[in-house]
Amino acid sequence: MYSMVLADVLKRWQTLKGNQAILCTGTDEHGTKVQRAAISNDMDPKQFCDLNSAKFQELAAACLIDYDRFIRTTDQDHVEAVKHFWLLLKEKGLIYEAKHEGWYCVSDECFYPESQLEKRQDPFTGEVYVASTESGNKVEWIEEKNYHFRMTALKDQLLDFYKNNPDWIVPHTRMNQVVDWVTNNLEDLSISRPVSRLSWGIRVPDDESQTIYVWVDALINYITKAGYPYWPPGQEHVGGWPADVHVIGKDILRFHCIYWPALLLALDLPLPKRILSHAHWTMEKKKMSKSIGNVVNPFYAMERFGIDTMRFYLVHNGGIANDADYSNGWITVEYKKHLQNGVGNLSARVTRPKQWSLRRAVQSYTDGNMSPLQTNGERINDSCLEHLSLLDKLASAVDNEMLQLNPSHALQKITGLIGQTNAFISNAEPWVVVKKPDSEALVDRIILAAGESLRIAGILLQPFMPDKAAQLLDLLGVENDKRTFSHAKVLSDGTYGTAFRTFGKEGIFPPPVVDDIEDMGPDGGKKHSSGKKKATSRKDW
């Protein structure tokens, strides 16, 4: 869910700016891990994948992922693309057959060198086993005859590419890991498995006794949607390739930043422009693990907190360089601070009081009855000018963070501005000013400055919280054709101010009405026998 939401925010941001954007997500469905899981569930592998893929499609729909294709690596056009890719590698003499032996991790679907192994002990059974130091997953010794890709022949090209594109991986620290691996650990890659061991996958062309390695198969999905292999020469970009960014978890860095570019370089195909490798979510500072049970069910979490709240929390608090710790309590804290008491409180202050009118404030400016950008030495008027000047820089500052592939910092700049606006309106005290004679123009200036903050924030929040941002803009009366990035500048819309709909006394972000936070299980669901008293009012909660 975190990967999909990050990718969706990046896509929606480009759409907001008026650019064409394509988002692909989906499920990798082949490999030993899937085959074993299907057997353990007494199911046919395809039937097992159909059920599993349906869950991820349901998840994508639930958290509002605006994808253009949900690709499954069992799709027929993908199978054809993989076979074609294989044949081209073979024609170029980059595939050979040889005996291979080494430590293989089924969970990670890859071999590990001795230098990246360690002995571990299962805390529950006491079993001592060999595991990858990188992932912590168990490995097993395998000897077999299969096909290999001459990846070492691409070593110098890979290193030259990294040197010439130092910002290719975000964050930069992971580029160092990749360069170190290629420099010191690069080997030819085993790219097939005997059918006797792995039958669930795409067969090697002209050799039905071998199955193509899942990480060769899976990576090619990125160009399947772009129309590969049916590209006219020089027209690869028409279908969207090369991708502007791959969004991945840090645990699959090697596959995307070493194997994938090597495969593309081998066939003289363009590489993706950037890789966003995000960190993980932990629970109580420990890696989430199904065996331990410290995992989060995203459907429970969205049902309890709301879709947009979860999207907000994942982006705002999630880690790119460093892991972030998931907590039901922290979701509540962030909701109250930034949404209920931030955006919600500000929208109520601007639109609800009868002493002033947002529409009148906007109309006064458009009619030329006031000039909010003109200073006159009066404290409140000057603070309005200062705030509008600050606000006018917001869109470019947020855009810069998005260009740096840092949606978290981008969102924090928006919430920071909302906080500053609440402070501004508290200092300006329009509820006091309105009681003074001839105060209408000054009150309008204050309300206009605050209203502009809400309008611009609402526009910029659309990629992050699609539904709630739309509700905010409806509350402000912003027309649909005036919700683009180009409108996220001060005084660019003189038509808003009359609400299209209202949201009652509690507004867009009401106080949460749920059981006591301590009554939640670690996965976001309700504890079944906690003995906790159910909250009976928002005050109790």
Instruction: Kindly tell me if the per-residue pLDDT of 39 is higher than 50.
Output: yes
pLDDT of residue 513: 61
Angle at 405 between CA 161 and CA 395, to 5 degrees: 135
pLDDT of residue 526: 53
| Mean pLDDT score, 204-220 | 95
Q: Would you say 252 and 222 are in contact if contact means Cβ atoms under 8 Å apart? A: no
> How many CB atoms within 10 Å of residue 327?
18
pLDDT of residue 42: 95
pLDDT of residue 135: 79
Confidence band for 236, pLDDT divided at 50, 70 and 90: confident
| Mean pLDDT score, 39-64 | 96
Can the peptide bond before residue 113 be classed as cis, meaning omega within 30 degrees of 0? Answer: no
Confidence band for 140, pLDDT divided at 50, 70 and 90: confident
Instruction: Kindly tell me if the per-residue pLDDT of 99 is higher than 60.
Output: yes
Equal fold, 72-278 vs 307-487: no
Task: Supply 145's token pair.
Answer: 């005859």
Do the bridges between strand 128-132 and strand 117-121 make them parallel or antiparallel, or are there none, so unpaired?
antiparallel
What is the spatial distance between Cα 489 and Cα 13, in angstroms, rounded to a whole number? 16
pLDDT of residue 248: 97
pLDDT of residue 122: 80
Residue 311, class by beta-carbon neighbours within 10 Å (0-12 exposed, 13-18 middle, 19+ buried)?
buried
Instruction: Kindly tell me if the per-residue pLDDT of 380 is higher than 60.
Output: yes
Percent of the chain whose predicted confidence (pLDDT) is above 90: 74
Task: Supply 50's token pair.
Answer: 């159909």
Backbone angles phi, psi at 281, to 5 degrees: -95, 135
307-487: CATH topology? Isoleucyl-tRNA Synthetase; Domain 1 (1.10.730)
CATH among 3.40.50.970, 3.40.50.620, 3.30.565.10, 3.10.129.10 for 72-278: 3.40.50.620
pLDDT of residue 47: 96
The lowest-confidence range among 4-8, 421-425, 484-488, 507-511 is: 507-511
Confidence band for 172, pLDDT divided at 50, 70 and 90: very high
For the four alpha carbons of 393, 22, 174 and 314, in that order, the dihedral sign comes to positive
What is the spatial distance between Cα 247 and Cα 8, in angstroms, rounded to a whole number? 10
pLDDT of residue 371: 62
pLDDT of residue 198: 92
pLDDT of residue 276: 98
> How many CB atoms within 10 Å of residue 169?
25
pLDDT of residue 128: 86
| Mean pLDDT score, 257-280 | 97
What is the spatial distance between Cα 272 and Cα 434, in angstroms, rounded to a whole number? 57
pLDDT of residue 245: 98
Q: Which long-range contacts (CB under 8 A, 24 or more apart) does 206-213 make?
A: 207/147, 210/146, 210/147, 211/30, 212/30, 212/82, 212/86, 213/109, 213/189
What is the spatial distance between Cα 461 and Cα 418, in angstroms, rounded to a whole number? 11
Q: For 377-398, what is the HEC assignment?
A: CCHHHHHHHHHHHHHCCHHHHH
What is the spatial distance between Cα 266 and Cα 156, in angstroms, rounded to a whole number? 12
pLDDT of residue 290: 74
Pick left, alpha or beta for residue 228 (phi over 0 → left; psi -120 to 50 → alpha; otherwise beta).
Answer: beta
pLDDT of residue 521: 53
* Residue-range domain boundaries for the chain: 72-278, 307-487
What is the spatial distance between Cα 212 and Cα 235, in angstroms, rounded to a whole number? 28
The lowest-confidence range among 1-15, 92-106, 342-356, 410-424 is: 92-106
pLDDT of residue 515: 47
Can the peptide bond before residue 463 be classed as cis, meaning omega within 30 degrees of 0? Answer: no
Instruction: Kindly tell me if the per-residue pLDDT of 496 is higher than 60.
Output: yes
Confidence band for 520, pLDDT divided at 50, 70 and 90: low
Contacts of 468 (CB under 8 A, 6+ apart): 308, 339, 343, 461, 508, 509
- Which residue would you say has higher pLDDT here, 505 or 8? 8
| Mean pLDDT score, 51-74 | 97
Task: Supply 417's token pair.
Answer: 């501005």
What is the spatial distance between Cα 295 and Cα 304, in angstroms, rounded to a whole number? 16
- Which residue would you say has higher pLDDT here, 54 or 381? 54
| Mean pLDDT score, 440-463 | 96
| Mean pLDDT score, 511-536 | 49
Percent of the chain whose predicted confidence (pLDDT) is above 70: 92
The lowest-confidence range among 37-41, 130-134, 346-350 is: 130-134
- Which residue would you say has higher pLDDT here, 282 or 137? 282
Do the bridges between strand 286-287 and strand 69-72 make them parallel or antiparallel, or are there none, so unpaired?
unpaired
| Mean pLDDT score, 212-217 | 94
List pLDDT tens digits, range 316-374.
999 999 999 999 999 999 999 999 999 999 999 999 999 999 999 999 888 776 565 55
What is the spatial distance between Cα 232 and Cα 209, in angstroms, rounded to a whole number? 33
Residue at token pair 């998931």: 326
pLDDT of residue 373: 53
Question: What is the average pLDDT score of the chain?
Answer: 90
Q: What is the DSSP string of 141-195?
A: EEEEEEEEE-GGGGHHHHHHHHHH-TTSEESTHHHHHHHHHHHHH--PEE-EEET
Angle at 146 between CA 145 and CA 151, to 5 degrees: 130
Q: Would you say 338 and 415 are in contact if contact means Cβ atoms under 8 Å apart? A: yes
Instruction: Kindly tell me if the per-residue pLDDT of 531 is higher than 70.
Output: no
